[in-house]
Structure 1
Amino acid sequence: MLPIIFIILFIFFLHFTITWYFNSTKGKYSPPSPPKFPIIGNLHQLGSYPHRTLQSLAKNYGPLMLLHLGRVPLLVVSSADAAREVMKTHDRVFSDRPHSKILDIVFYGSKDIAFAPYGEYWRQIKSISVLHLLSVKRVQSFRAVRDEEIEIMMQKISHSCSSNLPLNLSEMLFKLTNNIICRIALGRKYEGESGKEFRRMIVELMEVVGIFVVGDYVPRLECLTHISGLYGRAKRVAKQFDEFLDEVIEKHVTRSDGEGHHRDFVDVLLWIQRTNAVGFPIDRMMMKALIQDMFVAGTDTTSTTLEWAMTELLRHPSVMKRLQDESRRVASDRNHITEEDLCNMPYLKAVVKEIFRLHPPLPMLVHRRCMQDFKLKDYYIEAGTMVLVNAWAIARDPMYWDEPEEFKPERFLNSSIDVKGNNFELLPFGAGRRGCPGTMFAMVVLELALANLVHQFDWALPDGDNTIDMSETTGLIMRKKTPLTAVATPNKM
């Protein structure tokens, strides 16, 4: 009798389990996923250049693909249509950021705009940036800084022309964007030994942020991150940057010369703190996180885009010539291009868009996090799933682009596609709530610098160089692996 009871109970339990399973999973179809290993999941498939690897995988598994990085599910978005769903239609659901120990160390507990969790705090610091730091009026107010720094670079190039020696354009462009950001954010630029140290600090900060931390995905391998010294390195560079920003803020406090005289971003933030102009208190940590974001988002990304622009122009002399003809027609007999000239230079804007398409500074947009269980295009997405938009793959998708691997600025001349997050085929600045608030600031520096480089000089590769190394670095930002060198000759106007 007893065995029969056990059999009945077993059958009842089995029936209950099967019924519960099918009811709980009904309609919950996960996106296609490649096979995975125990513990590490699909980590081994990312490779050194994840944007390329994920593009290849998406060709087999589709524009919405689910990977598992250790214990963390990762939804990879590889089409404009799917990106629109994530970044516009259901933007709020996907507006959170995943947690990262490295980012907590470097960005004051992730208190900056880029990496702060979605919520009231993030809305507050975003409003400060949009209304007080990166508004149209504020960007226009720093026009003199842009003009002066670009003119200084032009003079340095001109002085070097007599020697006919190759210029390290990579270094010059980084100095240009760094000097502009320093003057606008901090009120001064850093040159000489202090400048070298400051640039080293920024480069190391970007390197640390771009390193993949396996412990974030496989907790039992956390010890490897400690052994590698990465956390120690992150704490060291964070401490250096923190001490530097504290010193800058203290100098601004002691020199404060009354309300309304906002010479730089630190002045603006101190005024907001003093007057409570935004309706909520801001502390020094918030100020430092905001200023730090300006350097991370504004220096390396802008100089990298300019570097790729000059690289492609050197590889395509006919495009260079057409852009020079446009600049010289617009400027007439003037030696420099002004910001007013930019609206009359459609080919320049097409060249910049094509650079963003082929060489987006962030090939994969900053990760998002799904905030709730959600159904996306008939697929079930679990709350907490990390979401990655492969902007690089979308910008090379033959579904949207004719000859996607070719450098053809002409494709944008009769196109309404822009880079402001309205067209999901081209997403260099992201889109939606978490899109970059500094788009306008970056675009005017890019266009003005590039226009003057080609307007005032003719450019050629150094003697003996027939090709340019197009290999990329690994990490968060897609830089050229080898510095770009070129020979400048003054334009005879």
Structure 2
Amino acid sequence: MAQLNTFLLRELAVAVALFYITRFLIRSLLRKPTKPLPPGPKGWPVVGALPLLGSMPHVALAKMAKKYGPVMYLRMGTLNMVVASTPDAARAFLKTLDLNFSNRPPNAGATHIAYNAQDMVFADYGLRWKLLRKLSNLHMLGGKALDDWAQVRAVELGHMLRVMCDASRRDEPVVVPEMLTYAMANMIGQVILSRRVFVTKGSESNEFKDMVVELMTSAGFFNIGDFIPSIAWMDLQGIERGMKKLHRRWDVLLTQMMKEHSATAHERRGKPDFLDIVMANADSKSDEEKLSLTNIKALLLNLFTAGTDTSSSVIEWALAEMLLNPNILKRAHDEMDQVIGRNRRLEESDIPKLSYLQAICKETFRKHPSTPLNLPRVSTEACEINGYYIPAKTRLSVNIWAIGRDPDVWENPLDFTPERFLTEKNKKIDPRGNDFELIPFGAGRRICAGTRMGIVLVEYILGTLVHSFDWALPAGEKLNMDEAFGLALQKAVPLSAVVRPRLAPSAYLS
């Protein structure tokens, strides 16, 4: 009897083991994709392809794409990533598969800087994200809202022109990104808070610029902890420590802004600004329409950083290219003198008549996109593209920088040639997300919410700076065109230039 019991127990154990092994094998076979993963580099043990990206990931990924193709797979630590590097590949992901890639992957920047993804940029695609987007479009970033604060842009740009004229009289060069950040922060401050953020240009505005650049740089890092979550707590690169410190500085600034704004609420009765309107949603009775104070701070962080740094970097690159190519600057001056003359400033209503200026802006968006790698997305479900299998929870990066320099799309892509956008073939190409040859703001559901504002600011501010001044490098200086990688593509060495007024003196008084 004892032998029989032992035999039965042994047989039962074998049966149970066979059952689980068989079930595991069947599930594995069912899960196994029938099509291969996209091609890509092998990478290293444990860390995968992370060490292959180097300090300039957009450049490294563009070189890899030449070897592995327009849709490329990389094992990044313990996670999957695909990279799209051509217009067709970008269209497949951001249009055909847009809904499946509508969320952002978890990352340290969203957690430690953007209030644990309570903002608009990193929030999951859902009701809260839609509410933040709707409020921003209706009251700040949409077409009508932009028209409503056109006068704010004109006044703040006037302040900047007068500061530049003063520098010219003292024979001092202007540091372009500092000037631009100061002016744009004040424009956005007027709309959000009904006041200028910086009364005078100085150490306070320079610190703000430094904080914006630090945020964009740190948020663009490929953080090992994002790709190997089990070791994230170790913070091997020290990135998360820096993010936490930076977040505290931003939180102090945003809290102070909101406190000062609340104290002056009585002055705006009947004329609410953007923050008044958003704050009204904090008291909403509907959970779907309710915003926490954290949501509001996170949204302000988005608007002040993305609203200043991305447009500022594009304008700075455009001016640098024109200093490198004086014939382009001369042609722009000739067009403006013919359309506007020299007795008044450029107005936004002039821009549709300035086809060469618009071509310069498009060419800068192409060659120097503000975000070289589109903000990452992640797949909700497994899918297929170009005959390749893409697993669920795969990160997606679209290499906008590579698309702009693709020789199969653009003739002589390394040259800065605005004239390419005046040809019959390219003149209808638009940077608003429908023409995948030129997607500086991304495309699809998660296209940059500030696309319209970004185009308006770049065209109007760049046009005004070109029309108002002659530009030259300081004596003895050479132009450095090196890039510094981050969420926004900065010039490694900020542009410093000497300006000389070229309009009638009265034009700078308005």
TM-score (norm 2): 0.88
Q: Given residue 296 of structure 2, which amino acid in structure 1 is its aligned partner? A: M
State the partner residue of 2:186: 179
Q: Does 1:41 align with 2:21?
A: no
State the partner residue of 1:394: 403
1:269-306 CA-to-partner distances (Å, cap 9, x unmatched) read 12444567997122211111111110121111111111
State the partner residue of 2:216: 206
Q: Is the 8 A contact 2:342 2:503 kept in 1?
A: no
- Deviation (angstroms), 1:119: 2.2
1:436-487 CA-to-partner distances (Å, cap 9, x unmatched) read 111111222211111111112111222223x411111122221111121222
Q: Given residue 262 of structure 1, which amino acid in structure 2 is its aligned partner? A: P
Query: When the two structures are aligned, how many residues end up with a matched partner?
Result: 485
Q: Given residue 195 of structure 1, which amino acid in structure 2 is its aligned partner? A: S
Report the secondary structure of 2:429's partner residue: coil
State the partner residue of 1:96: 103
Query: 1:22–1:202: structure 2 CA closer, same or farther, 3 Å change rule?
Result: closer
Q: Given residue 169 of structure 1, which amino acid in structure 2 is its aligned partner? A: V
Q: Is the 8 A contact 2:78 2:227 kept in 1?
A: yes
Query: 1:51–1:228: structure 2 CA closer, same or farther, 3 Å change rule?
Result: closer
Report the secondary structure of 1:111's partner residue: coil
Q: Is the 8 A contact 2:128 2:288 kept in 1?
A: no
CA–CA separation in structure 1 for the residues paired with 2:434 and 2:35? 31
State the partner residue of 2:463: 451
Q: Is the 8 A contact 1:336 1:452 kept in 2?
A: yes
State the partner residue of 1:57: 64
Which residue of the other structure, out of 272, 276, 290, is the alignment partner of 1:281? 290
**Identical-residue share of aligned pairs (%):** 36
Report the secondary structure of 1:327's partner residue: helix
Q: Given residue 461 of structure 1, which amino acid in structure 2 is its aligned partner? A: L
Q: How does 1:322-471 map to 2 (within 5 A)?
A: 322-414=331-423, 415-465=427-477, 467-471=478-482
> Is 203-212 or 365-374 further displaced after alignment?
203-212
Query: 1:136–1:71: structure 2 CA closer, same or farther, 3 Å change rule?
Result: same
Q: Does 1:487 align with 2:498?
A: yes
Q: Given residue 115 of structure 1, which amino acid in structure 2 is its aligned partner? A: F
Q: Given residue 404 of structure 1, which amino acid in structure 2 is its aligned partner? A: P
Q: CA RMSD in A?
A: 2.7
CA–CA separation in structure 1 for the residues paired with 2:247 and 2:27? 50
Q: Is the 8 A contact 1:128 1:278 kept in 2?
A: no
Report the secondary structure of 2:81's partner residue: strand
State the partner residue of 2:277: 268
CA–CA separation in structure 1 for the residues paired with 2:367 and 2:224? 29
State the partner residue of 2:5: none
> Is 251-260 or 136-145 further displaced after alignment?
251-260
Q: Given residue 408 of structure 1, which amino acid in structure 2 is its aligned partner? A: T
CA–CA separation in structure 2 for the residues paired with 1:367 and 1:410? 32
Q: Does 1:215 align with 2:222?
A: no
Q: Is the 8 A contact 2:434 2:443 kept in 1?
A: yes
1:96-147 CA-to-partner distances (Å, cap 9, x unmatched) read 1000133212111101111112222222222222223322222112112211
State the partner residue of 2:8: none
1:65-96 CA-to-partner distances (Å, cap 9, x unmatched) read 00011001100101101111111112101111
Q: Does 1:78 align with 2:85?
A: yes
Q: Given residue 46 of structure 1, which amino acid in structure 2 is its aligned partner? A: L
CA–CA separation in structure 2 for the residues paired with 1:324 and 1:400? 29
Q: Does 1:138 align with 2:148?
A: no
CA–CA separation in structure 2 for the residues paired with 1:100 and 1:376? 25
Q: Is the 8 A contact 2:33 2:389 kept in 1?
A: no
CA–CA separation in structure 2 for the residues paired with 1:87 and 1:416? 21
- Deviation (angstroms), 1:166: 2.7
> Is 444-453 or 382-391 further displaced after alignment?
444-453
> Is 58-67 or 177-186 further displaced after alignment?
177-186
CA–CA separation in structure 2 for the residues paired with 1:365 and 1:18? 38
- Deviation (angstroms), 1:18: 8.3
Q: Is the 8 A contact 1:77 1:83 kept in 2?
A: yes
Which residue of the other structure, out of 247, 259, 262, is the alignment partner of 1:250? 259
State the partner residue of 2:115: 108
Q: Does 1:188 align with 2:199?
A: no
CA–CA separation in structure 2 for the residues paired with 1:276 and 1:140? 31
State the partner residue of 2:327: 318
Q: Given residue 213 of structure 2, which amino acid in structure 1 is its aligned partner? A: V
Q: How does 1:292-303 map to 2 (within 5 A)?
A: 292-303=301-312
Report the secondary structure of 2:445's partner residue: helix
Which residue of the other structure, out of 295, 298, 316, is the alignment partner of 1:307? 316
Q: Is the 8 A contact 1:83 1:424 kept in 2?
A: yes
Q: Given residue 393 of structure 1, which amino acid in structure 2 is its aligned partner? A: A
Q: Does 1:120 align with 2:120?
A: no
> Is 482-491 or 253-262 further displaced after alignment?
253-262
Q: Is the 8 A contact 2:472 2:499 kept in 1?
A: yes
Query: 1:185–1:157: structure 2 CA closer, same or farther, 3 Å change rule?
Result: same
Q: Does 1:475 align with 2:486?
A: yes
Query: 1:250–1:16: structure 2 CA closer, same or farther, 3 Å change rule?
Result: closer
CA–CA separation in structure 1 for the residues paired with 2:237 and 2:390? 34
CA–CA separation in structure 2 for the residues paired with 1:90 and 1:395? 22
Report the secondary structure of 2:491's partner residue: coil
- Deviation (angstroms), 1:205: 2.7
1:188-227 CA-to-partner distances (Å, cap 9, x unmatched) read 22244443443343333333323332111124543541x6
Q: Is the 8 A contact 1:133 1:268 kept in 2?
A: no
Q: Which runs of 5+ in 1 are unaligned?
A: none
- Deviation (angstroms), 1:376: 1.6
> Is 348-357 or 205-214 further displaced after alignment?
205-214
Query: 1:278–1:404: structure 2 CA closer, same or farther, 3 Å change rule?
Result: farther
CA–CA separation in structure 1 for the residues paired with 2:499 and 2:453? 27
